[in-house]
Amino acid sequence: MTRSPSRLQRASGACRVAFDLRQGRTRLGDLYQRDPCRVLFPAPEPGEPPLAVLLTTSGGVTDGDSLEIAVEIGPKAGAVATTQAAEKVYRAARGSEHCSITVALRLAESAALDWLPQETIVFQGARLKRCTIADVEPGAALLACEMVVLGRAASGERFQSGLLLDSWSVRRSGRLLWTDALKVQGETPDGAGFGKANALCTVIGVWDEPQRGFELARALLAEVVEVRAGVTLVNGVMVARLLGEATAVRAAAIGFLTAFRKRRLPRVWHV
């Protein structure tokens, strides 16, 4: 009798957190979570908006896993969302499929969200497709960052095989304002501007009047010396990039976001 190969257990997680303004305060409006996704609500610093901390109880994702994340902010409400730690994407088995992460950020009229997840570490041989879509209504303000690290340099690992397809889209009142995708398949692309860098942080800003945020970001990034950095405006969307060695990029991103927001990042960033 021929035995068929056993199928490995795969995760299909999801979480949705929604905040609403009630009685003059932003409060949790709705929460849904399915293993391995969880959402924690630690007490925010005095004077700061509510904080949602996302985590995966599996300790990371691998081939065949799928995660769906949604953060929704109601009219005139404001919140901060982050992750408990760096997300780890493990090496995929030979011939296996990719893992997928989809993120939906929805901001109603005059809402505010700081989406500040910690870095995603893509191990050598991992296969990840991630798609983030932000829907921002008039009067709303979004500050978002995503940092990806290719390989575990501290362990002497380079990203020499695998797949990363990381895409971003921003829509304003249903109209597409900006879209971008990073694809790395196999060796980190020296010829695509990475050089010896193994980490890239992208910061997105969406406001009704983006010029002030753009000018501030340009001034702050001009002082960054350990990584390559720049910022531009595309259809009213601020797009800033920091490229370099992972530890330096993380430190530069923390410094930039702290100065830009004029307050510290959530405590989980400093543990």
> Residue ranges per domain, the chain?
15-270
Please tell me whether residue 246 adopts helix, strand or coil conformation.
helix
As given in the structure block, the two tokens for residue 204 are: 């997105």
- The pLDDT of residue 149 is 93
Pick the range with the lowest mean pLDDT from 16-20, 54-58, 69-73.
54-58
Closest by Cα among 105, 99, 75, 96 to 87: 99
pLDDT score of 104 more than 50: yes
Closest by Cα among 101, 117, 245, 122 to 185: 122
Please tell me whether residue 69 adopts helix, strand or coil conformation.
strand
Share of the chain above pLDDT 90, in %: 77
Give the pLDDT mean for 117-136.
Answer: 95
β-bridge partners, 178: 170
- The pLDDT of residue 81 is 98
